[in-house]
Amino acid sequence: MWAAPSALTAQRDAARQCTEHERLYEAIAAGDGDRAASLAHDHVATGRQVSVALAAEWSHPETDPEAVAARRRRRR
Protein backbone atom coordinates (compact mmCIF):
# COMPACT_ATOMS: atom_id res chain seq x y z
CA MET A 1 0.00 0.00 0.00
CA TRP A 2 1.18 3.50 -0.83
CA ALA A 3 1.97 5.82 2.10
CA ALA A 4 1.96 9.61 1.94
CA PRO A 5 5.11 11.45 3.04
CA SER A 6 4.97 13.30 6.34
CA ALA A 7 5.07 16.68 4.58
CA LEU A 8 4.60 17.98 1.08
CA THR A 9 8.05 19.52 1.14
CA ALA A 10 9.78 16.45 2.58
CA GLN A 11 10.73 15.48 -0.97
CA ARG A 12 12.61 18.77 -1.51
CA ASP A 13 16.22 19.46 -0.59
CA ALA A 14 16.19 20.94 2.93
CA ALA A 15 19.36 22.98 2.37
CA ARG A 16 17.89 24.52 -0.78
CA GLN A 17 14.65 25.37 1.02
CA CYS A 18 16.62 26.98 3.85
CA THR A 19 18.64 29.06 1.39
CA GLU A 20 15.46 30.14 -0.41
CA HIS A 21 13.88 31.16 2.91
CA GLU A 22 17.00 33.08 3.96
CA ARG A 23 17.10 35.02 0.68
CA LEU A 24 13.40 35.79 0.97
CA TYR A 25 13.88 37.01 4.55
CA GLU A 26 16.82 39.20 3.50
CA ALA A 27 14.77 40.81 0.73
CA ILE A 28 11.88 41.49 3.11
CA ALA A 29 14.22 42.85 5.81
CA ALA A 30 15.84 45.14 3.23
CA GLY A 31 12.44 46.45 2.18
CA ASP A 32 12.91 45.15 -1.37
CA GLY A 33 9.34 44.14 -2.14
CA ASP A 34 9.94 43.42 -5.82
CA ARG A 35 12.81 41.05 -5.07
CA ALA A 36 10.86 39.41 -2.21
CA ALA A 37 7.88 38.86 -4.49
CA SER A 38 10.09 37.33 -7.19
CA LEU A 39 11.85 35.05 -4.70
CA ALA A 40 8.54 33.97 -3.12
CA HIS A 41 7.09 33.19 -6.54
CA ASP A 42 10.13 31.12 -7.52
CA HIS A 43 10.06 29.26 -4.19
CA VAL A 44 6.39 28.35 -4.54
CA ALA A 45 6.72 27.43 -8.22
CA THR A 46 9.61 25.08 -7.49
CA GLY A 47 7.75 23.37 -4.63
CA ARG A 48 4.50 23.20 -6.57
CA GLN A 49 5.88 20.53 -8.93
CA VAL A 50 6.37 18.11 -6.04
CA SER A 51 3.04 19.01 -4.44
CA VAL A 52 1.08 18.51 -7.67
CA ALA A 53 2.72 15.13 -8.23
CA LEU A 54 1.84 14.05 -4.69
CA ALA A 55 -1.72 15.31 -5.05
CA ALA A 56 -2.08 13.23 -8.22
CA GLU A 57 -0.99 10.13 -6.30
CA TRP A 58 -3.42 10.92 -3.50
CA SER A 59 -6.33 11.22 -5.93
CA HIS A 60 -6.35 7.49 -6.63
CA PRO A 61 -9.56 5.77 -5.47
CA GLU A 62 -7.66 3.36 -3.23
CA THR A 63 -6.16 6.25 -1.22
CA ASP A 64 -8.06 7.04 1.97
CA PRO A 65 -7.87 10.87 2.33
CA GLU A 66 -8.68 10.71 6.05
CA ALA A 67 -5.78 8.33 6.67
CA VAL A 68 -3.44 10.57 4.66
CA ALA A 69 -4.57 13.64 6.63
CA ALA A 70 -4.14 11.83 9.95
CA ARG A 71 -0.53 10.98 9.08
CA ARG A 72 0.15 14.59 8.06
CA ARG A 73 -1.00 16.23 11.28
CA ARG A 74 1.76 18.14 13.00
CA ARG A 75 3.18 16.70 16.16
CA ARG A 76 2.95 18.87 19.24
Supply the DSSP string of 32-49, one letter for each residue: -HHHHHHHHHHHHHHHHH
d(CA 4, CA 8): 9
pTM of the model: 0.56
pLDDT at position 44 is 87
39 burial type by CB count under 10 A (0-12 exposed, 13-18 middle, 19+ buried): buried
The rounded Cα 36 to chain-centroid distance in angstroms is 18
Task: State the average pLDDT over residues 40-67.
Answer: 78
pLDDT at position 40 is 94
Q: In this predicted model, what pLDDT tens digit does every residue of 2-52 receive, in sequence order?
A: 444 445 566 678 888 899 999 999 999 999 999 999 999 998 888 787 777
- Selected residue with higher pLDDT from 55 and 31: 31
